[in-house]
Amino acid sequence: MLAKPPSASNSSDTELTPERFNSVINFSNFLLHVLRVSTKQDVALDDKRLLEQFEQYLLKKDQLNTHERIDAVKAFVFALLKTKYLFDQYIIKREFAQGEDKWSLKRLHFYNDKSQSYINTFDSSATNDNEDGFEGINRRILMLLSALHVSTPTLVYKHWLNGALYQLYYMDEISPVAYLEKLEHLARQFVFGRFLQPEGAEYFDMIYQGTGYRALDTNDQSVMDILRYGEIENNLVFNYLDYLLWCDGIESGADAVINQFEFTFRSSVEHFYPQHPLDGHKKLDNSELHRFGNLCLISHSKNSKLSNVQPSAKRDHFKAAINDRSIDTLKLYEMIQHLNNSGEWGVKQIHEHERQMIEILKKDSKTGANG
């Protein structure tokens, strides 16, 4: 579209190349998000149904005449341009620069007509070209968006993205504080209104009708039964807890592992105390083994490798990464610290860790809850 690519203020850091950023969604599915947001109708977020959904919710051949359909298409084009701008400015991308890839939340900043570069979206000073810092509201928004994304990495039915775009589309003024508040409310709706309820709310009702959520009730056994192996519907329960642990850790700033934590695609639910222990170690009763306090997310490859070894061996496996200020998930990091402090990992430690983690979720769930 440009006769020549724009020059960057710092070519070593701000290359303006198409390959630099990788989107969290493809264009055909993005069109469905625009249609859903602009019409506020329950459009299916699956591009296999793209033509069907546009016929039903936009063209409406049985309901609209030719001029009305033309007007509807014009309105959609405007909505598409607006939503694409919002997407580019306020939704995370995977950034590839300087031999590394990481999550970023950036916008294109024009210094003058010949010099442009990418800066953090919510960096008002326009001086920070890097997302290398581990604090600040830009980082906090990035962390929550990445937690939501890695929990639902598929291109279809990406409801977190639809919720974020819906909020952005109808906000009178987009400020980092307001945007973060809406994203946190969206995450709580998903976790406490859907995933940790026996009969969870529908996504459309939560996003478009404002269906709320109850504070986490630890006295409700039907709720607590969900916090067990094989019963948790979505990994956002783990990832949102990690987000809360990260927020708490950032405030103190004392632990570099927490400060530098990043969300990645860890999809396997691991038992810290193994289901099938090796070397004659005792086997825990399933009532204890499958408790939330004994579960965490790790990568599939590590799950296969570490599945049957003792907690102490798992701790030793992650020791090098921790020394390098890295860890798969923060709940796993908390479990390793608990093991280090107590010297063992058994039923008592599982209960103690579970109580601590559920208390964090319970406290957070009271923010904005209906009851």
How many domains does one find in the chain?
2
Question: Is residue 9 scored above 50 in pLDDT?
Answer: no
Domain boundary among 101, 120, 137: 137
Question: Is residue 18 scored above 80 in pLDDT?
Answer: no
Residue 18 lies in a domain: yes
Question: Is residue 12 scored above 50 in pLDDT?
Answer: no
Three-state secondary structure readout of 44-90: CCCHHHHHHHHHHHHHCCCCCCHHHHHHHHHHHHHHHHHHHHHHHHH
Same-domain check for residues 131 and 159: no
Question: Is residue 7 scored above 50 in pLDDT?
Answer: no
Same-domain check for residues 193 and 273: yes
The string of pLDDT tens digits covering residues 186-208 is 999 999 999 999 999 999 999 99
What is residue 313's predicted lDDT score, i.e. its pLDDT? 94
Same-domain check for residues 131 and 83: yes
Same-domain check for residues 236 and 337: yes
Residue 164 lies in a domain: yes
Same-domain check for residues 207 and 344: yes
Residue 360 lies in a domain: yes
Least confident of 40-44, 56-60, 300-304, 349-353: 300-304
pLDDT above 90 covers a percentage of the chain that reads: 78
Same-domain check for residues 125 and 186: no
Domain boundary among 94, 122, 137: 137
What is residue 3's predicted lDDT score, i.e. its pLDDT? 42
Same-domain check for residues 91 and 211: no
Residue 37 lies in a domain: yes
Q: How confident is the model at residue 180 (pLDDT cuts 50, 70, 90)?
A: very high
Same-domain check for residues 280 and 193: yes
- 2 versus 212: the higher-pLDDT residue is 212
What is residue 135's predicted lDDT score, i.e. its pLDDT? 67
What is residue 98's predicted lDDT score, i.e. its pLDDT? 78
Residue 14 lies in a domain: yes
Domain boundary among 102, 121, 137: 137
Same-domain check for residues 249 and 184: yes
Question: Is residue 213 scored above 90 in pLDDT?
Answer: yes
Same-domain check for residues 109 and 192: no
Q: How confident is the model at residue 134 (pLDDT cuts 50, 70, 90)?
A: low
Same-domain check for residues 111 and 215: no
Residue 94 lies in a domain: yes
Residue 1 lies in a domain: no
Domain span at 251 = 142-365
What are residue 200's DSSP bridge partners? Answer: none
Residue 277 lies in a domain: yes
The string of pLDDT tens digits covering residues 272-297 is 999 999 878 899 999 999 999 999 99
The string of pLDDT tens digits covering residues 302-343 is 877 788 899 999 999 999 999 999 999 999 999 999 999 999
What is residue 144's predicted lDDT score, i.e. its pLDDT? 99
